Amino acid sequence: MKIPITQPYFDDAELRAVVEPLESGWVVQGPKVAEFERLFAAFVGSRHAVATTSCTTALHLAVVDSGIGPADDVVLPSFTWVATANVVEMTGARPVLVDIDLDTFNVDASQLTAAVTPQTRAVIPVSLFGLSAPLRPIVDMASARGIRVIEDDACALGACYHGRHAGTLADMGCFSFHPRKAITTGEGGMVVTDNEGIAGRLRSLRDHGASTSDLTRHHGPRSYQLPVFNVLGFNYRMTDFQGAIGVAQMAKLPWILERRRQIAAQYDHLLAGLDWIRSPKTPPGYVHGYQSYVCLFAPERPTVGNVAALHARRNAVMDALDGAGIATRPGTHAVHTLGYYRSKYGYRDADFPNSLIAAQLSLTLPLSAQMTDEQQHYVVSTLERITP
C-alpha cells in the first residue's frame, strides 16, 4: 500500500472550470479571480479578500502595506516555514524570533509580547497546521501599542478562534492554496481584511501599483487608456485559471474540512494507546482545520540535551514507515537553525528550545479528505508494530 502525505481533491468540476477561461479568452486576473475572492471572503467572514500568486506574496504585500523597512522589527515565531521570516528580510527589516508553545506548535503569546520594542512595527503570529494562534492577547497588545498584526494563516483555512475564523481578528490574514492545503489552486494565496483602505492598496500593489485593474478598465469607458502608476508595485496577480479552480474548490470546502476533522478524530482515538507519540491538541474555544496531522515524537520528555538522540530515533520511525509505503514529514523547520538566519544573526540551536524540539521531533502523518479507513488503519497498525 502506498499512502501519500496528502493529496488534493479534484473531480470533473475543476476540469470544467479550467475550460471556462480558455473559452472566454480572459485568462489573466479577471472575473473568475473576483468570484473566488467573493466566495472566500464570505466563507471566512471578512469584508475583503485579495488574491495573490502565493501565501508568500500575500505576506509580502501585507508587510509592504504596513510601511515596514530598514530599522524596523517584526516579531514572529521561530517554528514556521521560512517564508514568514523571508518576507520581512525582503523589506530590509529585521525578523525578531520568539519561541513556541510545544503543546500547540504555535507562538507563545507572552514571549511575543515581551519581544516587542519601540522598533517593532508589526507582529506575525502563525496559525500552524490548521490551529489558530492565540490571537486575543496578541491583538489587544498590538492595538494598545499601535502596531500591525499580520496573521500567517497559510495552513489555517477552517481554523476558528472563539467563534471567529482565523485571519479576521488581525489587520490582515494571509492564506495559501498550495497543493498540501485543504483546497488548492496549484499555487496561490489570499489576503483577507475588513479595512477597505488596506484592501484597495493591496489590489494596487499586486498589480504593479496600477490605479485600476484590467477587469475594471475593460468594463468601463475608454478601456484603451492605461492606468496611472503612483506607487511601486509587484506582479502578484492570480490567473483566471487558478481563480476558476478556486471557485470549484470552494464548493467542496465544507465537505473537505469535515472529512479532515473526522479522520483526525479517528487518529486521536486509534493512537491513544501509543505512549511515545503525542497527538495534536485543540485548546477550548478553538476549531482545528487539520491542514496536517502533526504529532510529537516523545518516548521520553524532550529537552535540548536529549533532542539529538530522540531525533535519530524519530528518523528511524519515519524510515520504517517509508519502508511500509507510508509518507511522513516533519512539521516544519526552526528558522533560527537555517543557514541564512544562523549566519546573519548568530543564532544557536538552544536559543529557542521548543522550536528546536518541534523541528527535530515533529512527525506528520498522512491526511487527506479522500483517505480511506483501510489506509488509516494501515498507518496506525504499522506504528503499533514499531519499537521506537
Query: DSSP label at 212?
Result: S
Does a structural domain hold residue 2?
no
Report how many domains make up the chain.
2
What distance in Å separates the CA atoms of residue 10 and residue 246, rounded to the nearest whole number? Answer: 11
Q: Is residue 6 part of a domain?
A: no
Q: Where would I find the beta strands (DSSP E) of 164-215?
A: 164-165, 172-176, 189-193
Closest CA to 369 of 278, 249, 280, 286: 249
Q: Quick one: 138 and 282 in the same domain?
A: no
Same domain, 87 and 228: yes
The residue from 221, 249, 277 where one domain ends is 249
In this structure, the dihedral spanned by the alpha carbons of residues 108, 113, 117 and 119, taken in order and rounded to 10 degrees, is 70
Task: Reply yes or no on whether 281 is catalytic.
Answer: no
Determine the pLDDT at residue 214.
Answer: 63
Report the length, in residues, of the chain.
Answer: 388
> What's the mean pLDDT when you consider all of the chain?
96
Asked whether residue 219 falls in the same domain as residue 347, the answer is no
Asked if residues 49 and 191 have their Cβ atoms less than 8 Å apart, the reply is: yes
> Position of cell 482545520?
289
Residues 122-143: pLDDT tens digits?
999 999 999 999 999 999 999 9
Predicted confidence (pLDDT) per residue in 308-353, tens digit: 999 999 999 999 999 999 999 999 999 999 999 999 999 999 999 9
In the chain, alpha helices (H): 12-24, 31-44, 55-65, 83-89, 109-115, 135-145, 196-205, 214-218, 240-270, 307-323, 339-345, 353-361, 373-385
pLDDT at 226: 73
Of the three residues 234, 249, 264, the one that is the final residue of a domain is 249
The proportion of the chain whose per-residue pLDDT surpasses 90, expressed as a percent, equals 93
Residue 224 has pLDDT above 60, yes or no: no
The predicted-structure confidence for 35-87, as pLDDT tens digits, reads as follows: 999 999 999 999 999 999 999 999 999 999 999 999 999 999 999 999 999 99
For residue 4, being part of any structural domain is answered with no
Please tell me whether residues 218 and 347 are part of one structural domain.
no
Residue range(s) defining the domain that contains residue 174: 12-249
pLDDT at position 228 is 83
Q: Are residues 375 and 267 in the same domain?
A: yes
pLDDT at 227: 78
Same domain, 31 and 115: yes
* Active-site choice (2, 32, 181, 252): 181
Cα distance between residue 317 and residue 297, in whole Å? 9
**Residue 217 confidence (pLDDT) above 80:** no
Tell me: do 123 and 214 sit in the same domain.
yes
**What is the model's pTM?**
0.95
Is 212's pLDDT higher than 80? no
Output the domain CATH number for residue 293: 3.90.1150.10
232 — pLDDT class (breaks 50, 70, 90): very high
**220 and 129 within one domain:** yes
Put residue 282 in one of left, alpha, beta given phi > 0 → left and psi -120 to 50 → alpha: beta
pLDDT for the residue 131: 98
Cell numbers at 345, concatenated: 544573526
Q: Is the model more confident about 240 or about 388?
A: 240
- Final residue belonging to a domain, choices 197, 223, 249: 249
One DSSP character per residue, 51-85 reads EES-HHHHHHHHHHHTT--TT-EEEEESBS-THHH
At 140-182, the pLDDT tens digits run 999 999 999 999 999 999 999 999 999 999 999 999 999 999 9
- Are 149 and 73 found together in one domain? yes
Q: Taking residues 190-211, what's their average pLDDT?
A: 95
Q: Are residues 208 and 110 located together in one domain of the fold?
A: yes
- pLDDT tens figures, 90-99: 999 999 999 9
Integer Cα distance of 309 and 312 in angstroms: 5
Q: Are residues 353 and 242 in the same domain?
A: no
Asked if pLDDT for residue 361 goes beyond 90, the answer is yes
Same domain, 158 and 80: yes
Q: What angle do CA 323, 372, 292 make, to 5 degrees?
A: 70
